[in-house]
Amino acid sequence: MTWKLDARIPLVTVADATALVAVLAEGRPAAVLAEWPAPAMPADVVAMEDFPAAGAAHAAACACCGGRSPAATALDRLFQARVRGSCGWFERVVALAGSEAARSQLAAALRDDAVTAARFRAAD
């Protein structure tokens, strides 16, 4: 018997508000990460952050984000709110990414950003 334990927070990516509502209805507590501009926060969501799909807003290695992508820093804000108790506990993140640029940025953060990859994983 093989055991597999992955304690990272699952990240589900959806393309539109209808899919967002459907995934949120699955029941487990969730946070929402939305491409900017974010819609109104749906009911029963414990936290919400947004990010611009246009790419890094700051120069490489700046003091606030270290040149990381806006998606990666938004995921940092969600994680920090969770561990500091400034939002309710969530077991998953649902990312509303309508554009290809936003989906690409999320995929790159999960693949290439060591901090993001240590905390989050693409949902099965």
The pLDDT of residue 30 = 97
Asked if 35 contacts 50 with a C-beta cutoff of 8 angstroms, the reply is yes
Sheet (strand 30-35) strand order: 45-51, 30-35, 92-96, 9-14, 120-122
- Percent of the chain surpassing pLDDT 70: 90
The pLDDT of residue 79 = 98
Asked if 9 contacts 92 with a C-beta cutoff of 8 angstroms, the reply is yes
Question: Phi/psi zone of residue 99: left (φ > 0), alpha (ψ -120 to 50 degrees), beta?
Answer: beta
List, in sequence order, every residue forming a beta bridge with 34; answer none if it has no partner: 50, 96
Q: Quick: pLDDT tens for 10-69.
A: 999 999 999 999 999 998 999 999 999 888 888 889 999 999 987 555 555 566 656 789
pTM: 0.87
